[in-house]
Each structure stands twice: as structure tokens, then as C-alpha cells.
Structure 1
Amino acid sequence: MIVRRLGLAEYEPTWRAMQDFTARRAPDTPDEIWLCEHPPVFTLGLAGKAEHLLRDIGVPVVKIDRGGQITYHGPGQVVAYLLLDLKRRGLTVKGLVNRMEQALIDLLAGHGVAAARLAGAPGVYVAGAKIGALGLKVKNGCCYHGLALNVAMDLVPFEAINPCGYEGMAVTQLADFVPGITVEQAATALVEQLEMKL
């Protein structure tokens, strides 16, 4: 598994690069994890409904090809894009989602934070507030997109949306429980968890 740290990366070129990587894959292409942060952006999934954007706060909205509704990405959030050959790894989409959620739950447990799944709402939650979001696109047995963990960010933009399509959904972040934690520390811990589970 090749891990690439992209730093602060513009959303749309990163997304296009994932599409290109997936389109060009050969059966022996190594799987990759791309780690990054994004400048402020709302992303709207394939089934995304415009009404979940409650008001314009000057943050760009990008319609993309993952599943799910609207979410927010911004500095202070670690994003891990999983470019995997699911067929080769013997993974179903449901199985991969479960492992992604478990990676986040175990990462948080390592910091003394009790996190859980919420029935019918993919992602990871602490006391009912969303701390980790995920979304995937599968093409020819390979996936891209991935997951986002709120680490130490400005959560205010989430107030302009129904996060992942849920009205009134609270959001939280790791720094509220582990003061001083950095995106780099969280990213390293996330990679360790993902490599164990994938």
C-alpha cells in the first residue's frame, strides 16, 4: 500500500486525479491511500439534494460522484482517500465501509474517546455528534473517495448545511477531547488503523 501525503490540496484537482488513477489502473497497480486537507469546500454526492445547503456562506459547492449527500471539508480535517482494488482484496462495499468506520472508532478509542456507528447513518459519532464522514465511488471493482475525520477545524460552516442530509445533525472534532492534537498526528494514527484493517 502506497501512502501519499498531499498536504493542503485543492478539492477538484484531487478528485479528478483519483478518477484518472482509477481509470488507468492495471490488475497489478498497487493500492494507495492519499492523505490531505482541503481548503473550505462543500461536496454534494450523486443523490445530493440542493435543499441540504441551507444558506450561501461563500464556500464553493462541488457536485461529485460519490454516494451520499452534502458534507464540508476544510483545514484541520484529515481526509484519507482510499484507492483500492476491492476485487483483489476480497472486499465488498459494505465490508469496506465497516472497516473504515472501525478504523475511526479504534483510532478514537486510542485517545480515550468512545465513538460508535449510528444505525442508518454511515459515519462515526461521539455522543450522537458526527466526527467522521465517509463516501465511496466504485468503478470496475475499484474504489476511490474515502473518509474525513474532524480533528481541529472551524466547525461553523457545518451550520450552513444538513450534514450528510440530516437536519440538525451535530458535529464534533477530536481536538475537543484531545486538546493540542494535530492533523499530522491524527493522519498517522489513521493510516496505521487503515493498514491493519484493509
Structure 2
Amino acid sequence: MDTLKVYKIGLVPYRKALDLQLNLLEKRKNGEIGDSLLLLEHPPTFTIGRKGNKKHLLMNERYLSERGIHFEEISRGGDITFHGPGQLVGYPIMDLNTKGRDVHKYLRGLEESIVMVLEDFGISANRIEGLTGVWVKGHKIASIGVGVKRWVTYHGFALNVNTDLSYFDMIVPCGIPDVKMTSIAGCLREKEGIQIEDVEEAVVKSFIKIFGFENAKVITAFDYNPENLLESDLLYNLEEELEKDLDLLI
């Protein structure tokens, strides 16, 4: 069994994080690195998958731009979703050649890992047949959309922790009419102050179990300070720090 490398990198603009995924994807395909998991948040951003319907974006792009909300058309599966502060996003860069070459099994594994995370917080969650994602009492709490190249994964999951759910009113989430969204904070009304860091720990634990890793090596590329991570030197620092860690640890 192998070690999962987990990179906790805070608040990162969507396009920067995608560039990083693609960089790590190539390294994994070439056997330069092992399996890894990026854990992060994004500034307010709507993303739509390669088969998504732009009619599911209910506001025009000018409206979004005026409010500082980004819109990205990307190569993952799935329709439209929202990313923003208070939502934990996970991007696994994993080689499915070592895990059976079964994308559907991988998707179910992602869902099961989120179900396990929610169990740690006393929340009973489930999957719905025919739909991708994780649900609590009919409300969607986690969205999943993946990409696979030469059996190496990228993109991943988005779990609402203490997300501002009003952003979802601007879209038809995941292209599902009348879907209602929820969050961990919303489910635990008596427990205010749920932190992203607490959920990150639970995610690492569930990934080790579900995907058969021996352990995890957690690397924090930056101090957890979202304001600093939005400075103009983000890309330089992010890639330099991760490359340094990879050189040391792989």
C-alpha cells in the first residue's frame, strides 16, 4: 500500500488550481510522482462541465463580473456548480491503473468517502440512484465531477461546509431542477463555527480507508491565510512550493 500526499493550499483562484492539477496530472501519468490530493477553497466561481447546459446559468456573465464572480467552462463531467469560500474542494490526482480502471467504482468511492466524513460529524448522508453526489434528507451537500486522462484522475468533489448557499440560486445546480442545497453548518444548527480544517482531517482519514492507502503525508504549502493567497505572487509561490515538496518527498 502507498502513501497519499495531501496538499492543503487554502484559497486559490479556480484557473490557478486547474493549471496546478494539469501539471501534477502529467507528472503522475509519467510516473514522476505518486497519488496526491489537493484540498482547497476557491473564490466565488461557477464552473460548467463539458456536457453542461449554459441555460442552467440563470444570470448573464456581465451580472457575475460586476459582482466579482468568475465563470469557467471546463473539461470535467457533470453540469454547472458553484465553488466559493466555506466549501471544501478536493482534487485527487490518482492513477486508476492501480485501482482497477473502473471510473464508476472511483465515483462511488468519492461519494462513499464523503458519506464517511459526514458520519464523523453526526450527519446521516446517502447517495441517490441515478444521480452523482451526496445528499442529506433530500438536500445536496456535495457535488462530484471528474476527469480522467490515461486512467489518471483530476477534478473531484466539492463539499459544502459553511458555504453561502445563496449563490446556488443563480444556477440550476448540477442541472437538476428544483434541487435544494445544504451544508455541514446548516445540518448542525446547534454547532456554529464548523471549520474547514476539521473537515479536511476527516477527508484525509476517509480517503485512506476507501482508496486503500497505508497512510497520508499532509503538506501545508502556505500558512492558512486566504487573504495572502490572493496576492499576485500566488502562482509563483504555489508551484515553487509544491515542486520543492515533491522533490523532497517522492
Aligned residue in 1 for 2:230: none
Matched, 1:132 2:142: yes
User: Structure 1 residue 20: deviation in Å?
Assistant: 2.1
**What residue number does 2:207 align with?**
194
What value does the CA root-mean-square deviation take over the aligned residues? 1.2
Q: Which runs of 5+ in 2 are unaligned?
A: 212-250
Query: d(CA) in 2 for partners of 1:63 and 1:177?
Result: 31
- Which residue of structure 2 lines up, in the alignment, with residue 175 of structure 1? 185
TM-score when normalising by structure 2: 0.77
Q: Distance in 2 between matches of 1:17 and 1:190?
A: 20
CA-to-partner distance for each residue in 1:20-72, whole Å, 9 max, x for gaps?
22123323521100000000000010001110001245222100010010000
Q: Tell me, in whole angstroms, the C-alpha distance in 2 between the residues paired with 1:46 and 1:196.
A: 31
Residue 189 of structure 1 aligns with an amino acid whose one-letter code is A
Structure with greater strand share of residues: 1
The code of the aligned residue for 2:71 comes to V
Query: Which residue of structure 2 lines up, in the alignment, with residue 6 of structure 1?
Result: 9
The one of 39, 42, 45 equivalent to 1:41 is: 45
Counterparts of 1:78-93 in structure 2, within 5 Å, are 78-93=88-103
Q: 1:119 aligns with which of 109, 119, 129?
A: 129
Deviation at 1:153, TM superposition (A): 1.3
The structure that has the greater radius of gyration is 2
More helix by share: 2
Q: Distance in 1 between matches of 2:35 and 2:205?
A: 15
Comparing 87-96 with 59-68, greater Cα deviation is found at: 87-96
**Deviation per residue, 1:71-119 (Å, 9 max, x gap):** 0000000001000001023241111111111111111122221111112
Select the residue among 47, 52, 55 that pairs with 2:56: 52
Higher relative contact order (Cα pairs below 8 Å, separated by 6+ residues): 2
Matches within 5 A, 1:127-166: 127-166=137-176
Name stretches of at least 5 consecutive residues in structure 1 with no aligned partner.
Answer: none
Would you say the 8 A contact 2:120–2:202 is kept in 1?
Answer: no
Deviation at 1:130, TM superposition (A): 0.5
User: Size of the alignment, in residue pairs?
Assistant: 198
Please identify runs of 4+ aligned residues in structure 1 that moved more than 4 A: none
Distance, in Å, in 2 between the alignment partners of 1:137 and 1:106 is 23
Task: String of CA shifts for 1:119-174, please: whole Å, max 9, x gaps.
Answer: 21100000111000111110011110111100001100100100000111100000
User: Aligned partners of 1:120 and 1:12: how far apart in 2?
Assistant: 30
Q: Quote the Cα distance in structure 2 between the aligned partners of 1:142 and 1:182.
A: 30
Please say if 1:15 is aligned against 2:18. Answer: yes
Please state whether the residue corresponding to 1:116 is helix, strand or coil.
Answer: coil
Give me the identity figure in percent.
36
